[in-house]
Structure 1
Amino acid sequence: MEHIQSDTRTPVHVIGGGLAGLTAAITAAESGARVTLYESHRTLGGRARTADGPYRTNEGPHALYHRGPLCTWLARRDLLGPVASVPPLEGLRFRFRRAGALRALPPVALLRLSRRNPRTAPVDAAFRDWAAGQVGDEGARAAAHFVAAALFHHDPGALSARFVQERLRRLTSLPPEARYPVGGWARLVERMAGHARGLGVTVETGARVDPRTLGELARTGPVAVATSLDAARVLLDDASLTWESGRTVLVDLAVRNRRGDPFIVSDLDAPGWVERFTAQDPGLAPAGEQLLQGQFPIGPGVGKAEGAARAEELLDLGFPGRRERTTWRSEALADGRTGAVDHPGTTWRDRPAIVRGDGIFLAGDQVAAPGLLSEVSFTSGLEAGLLAVRDAGRRSGSGVDLNQT
């Protein structure tokens, strides 16, 4: 990785204390920069916050993928902490809804398609068209619905074949890539924040930055804007900062334990997914209860009630007696908060660029950076931090010292 030594006379500012912002701040501070991080909320974490109380829910699934760059980066800094993998026996409790019935196995065509090298999938074709040519219409449809677990999109078949196939391959890899931070995302955020402070990063929470304040900060040093794309568009007054994201209903449910409940129920009739997160991390719910988290993508203009109704159907099918066993429930609509999706003819390189000019750099889960889910925030945060340090060196007149580490 490129390492840049900065002249500390020029400060680096980071706006946003989520995963992207913390990564940018740590990266800049490790290069010697004087860094201040501004977070509008009273706590850090952004979309990686974990709810307080007995039910430790997150805004959607909170898995890390251990073959990706984020896990490696965290482990090198001793920030990964305890993580849980899928328990071997739970892997046998994977269930699929097909033609309205619960089944133990997916279609063979889905499994065949999941082994295809993503590089063989064209960028400029829709996934459903390419996949149907590989394994037939039924397998293509099932695969599109299955991979919605990592896309949060109501019609994955309409997206770029390369984009979807890359995610299908990683989602079905064996052994499974998914690793779960014990205690939820909040524990990981705490470790990253502690590391940032240990490097000298000044963290200001409850600090809302408006366009005028941003302009003042930018006159003193480079700024990494690590907010949602919607917030960045307003903050930078830049109408070009748009990219499609998913729209999904998130359902969190606590139920009393019942022997034999599945680990995961994947809806292959429509995009939908329920996972029993206490299978790998029992501390997410009180003793004797288990925490289910599901997401059900819906299209533009469709109300939350439709996604919630589909959730009811899948829960009833996969978790018998769950209505009588329910002890707590929450649901929310995540609109444009689930990362970028790429349509045919586009790749991550076509998303809003990290470099915005005049010492402004962009980071987040909808910008021009590769990766699966949270890896986009991480990769863009890393790049934004390095570029900010380079810019600080130019401003100070000291130049930069590039080393390979």
Structure 2
Amino acid sequence: MNTITVIGGGLAGLTAAIAGAERGAEVTLYEAHRSLGGRARSTAAPYVANDGPHALYRDGAPFAWLAKRGLVGPLARPGLRELSRTRFRVGGRSTRRPPLPLLRAVLRRGLPAPVDRDLASWGAERFGVEGVRAVAGMLGVVTFDSDPGRLSAAFAWERFVRLTAPRPAAGYPVGGWQALVDRMAEHARGLGVRIVTGTRVDRVDFGGPTIVATSLDAARTLLGDDSLRWESGRSLLVDLALRGREGDPFLVFDLDEGGFLEQNSAVDPSAAPPGETLFQAQLPARPGESRQSATARLERLVDTVLPDWRHRLTWRRDQMMAGRSGALDLPGYTWRDRPAIDRGDGVYLAGDQVAAPGLLGEVSVASALAAARAAVTRTPVRVA
């Protein structure tokens, strides 16, 4: 029997452990923290807040893999009532209507975008400077980057197309990401995976294939490989619980600065105590910007759409997320250019900044499946 070691108990690590065990391997997973989940953790009740936007996109292969195993669980979907409370911040003001330049861009969703050009220059030629600026403003929620216009047009445009699909593909795990993590952990243990928490691994020497499913920074240190670097975003994340009130927005796209605000408890009431509403706001930080400055800018966004939020506040959590937002592809690069999954000598990488396609957490799942398959079969990594 193959023996596989997985380092890291987040979405990628649990996926790799399950996939390895399903292929007949004896799997041990090590997680440095006392609880599993990584960036997929949620805070404990009564305020169930995720470490970032918590949608699962149902139009990709990673979702199908989770769903086939019954791991998705109850999934909430916003209805017309929630979607009708979508707002846009434009010119420092809140509006219900998306600006015309953005609508013109949406109507051209079928355009193919080049890999070797940046979104800003390519988009300006196709639907104007104001249009591409609005597109970039919407992309803050899926890139965590203050300037998506600098990214590969193909990379950024694909995300915009999925974000503006006529039938939204996003679903929200009831109970937060932690509920998904808990189901994956239970399933892994049922397959015989040995899970060890509270144990930090400082070397890769297990006498068999090892899948490193940590952040890229941690993998660089663990493997002593300085090449393990890739472009990633930096963003301020703020969770706010407020006393409930009718008419609060469900989604807010900050087209001015790329921020985003979402009422998590609108689709999952279990996220907040009765009578309260849980919001999550995030704003990409500018290069070199201080946390204090980013906080001031984000609070201006919240002031615009929830002017009385300070008087209604019951709970708050602030986090600066640096290098934790997944891979960003610059002009001329695709996911195939990211750090390779197969590092040689039986060591594999899995995570949201390595060589796999997809949107946000989908990259973790896709890379973990490729790593597990290669580790068990000892064949080259294949990712569609």
TM superposition score normalised by structure 1: 0.92
CA distance in 2 between counterparts of 1:70 and 1:112 reads: 31
CA distance in 2 between counterparts of 1:249 and 1:318 reads: 18
Instruction: Tell me the equivalent position of 2:356.
Output: 369
2:70 alignment partner, one of 67, 74, 78? 78
Gaps of 5+ in 1: 1-7, 395-405
CA contact 1:251–1:294 (8 Å) conserved in 2: yes
The residue type paired with residue 344 of structure 1 is: P
Q: 1:342 and 2:334 equivalent?
A: no
CA distance in 1 between counterparts of 2:104 and 2:362 reads: 26
Q: 1:287 and 2:287 equivalent?
A: no
CA distance in 2 between counterparts of 1:191 and 1:18 reads: 12
CA distance in 2 between counterparts of 1:373 and 1:89 reads: 27
Instruction: Tell me the equivalent position of 1:177.
Output: 169
CA distance in 1 between counterparts of 2:265 and 2:176 reads: 11
2:340 alignment partner, one of 341, 353, 365? 353
Q: 1:122 and 2:114 equivalent?
A: yes
CA contact 1:361–1:384 (8 Å) conserved in 2: yes
Please identify, of 120-129 and 102-111, the stretch whose mean Cα deviation from structure 2 is larger: 102-111
1:317 alignment partner, one of 304, 307, 314? 304
CA contact 1:114–1:165 (8 Å) conserved in 2: no
Instruction: Tell me the equivalent position of 1:103.
Output: 95
1:56 alignment partner, one of 48, 51, 62? 48
The residue type paired with residue 332 of structure 1 is: Q
TM superposition score normalised by structure 2: 0.97
4+ residue runs of structure 1 moved beyond 6 angstroms? none
Instruction: Tell me the equivalent position of 1:161.
Output: 153
Instruction: Tell me the equivalent position of 1:150.
Output: 142
Local SS of the residue matching 2:84: helix
CA distance in 2 between counterparts of 1:388 and 1:142 reads: 43
Return the offset for 1:53.
3.3
1:258 alignment partner, one of 224, 242, 245? 245
Local SS of the residue matching 1:166: helix
1:244 alignment partner, one of 231, 236, 244? 231
Instruction: Tell me the C-alpha RMSD between the 2 structures.
Output: 1.3
Local SS of the residue matching 1:89: helix
Number of aligned residue pairs = 380
Q: 1:307 and 2:294 equivalent?
A: yes
Q: Percent identity?
A: 56
Return the index of the structure with the highest Cα Rg. Answer: 1
Return the offset for 1:128.
0.8
Once the two structures are superposed, residues 24-74 of structure 1 have per-residue CA deviations (whole angstroms, 9 ceiling, x without a partner) of: 111110011111111111111111011113111111111100001122111
CA distance in 1 between counterparts of 2:110 and 2:290 reads: 34
Return the offset for 1:111.
2.6
Query: Structure 1 residues 309 and 24 mapped into 2: Cα distance closer, same or farther (>3 Å)?
Result: same
CA distance in 1 between counterparts of 2:74 and 2:201 reads: 34
CA distance in 1 between counterparts of 2:99 and 2:165 reads: 16
The residue type paired with residue 242 of structure 1 is: R
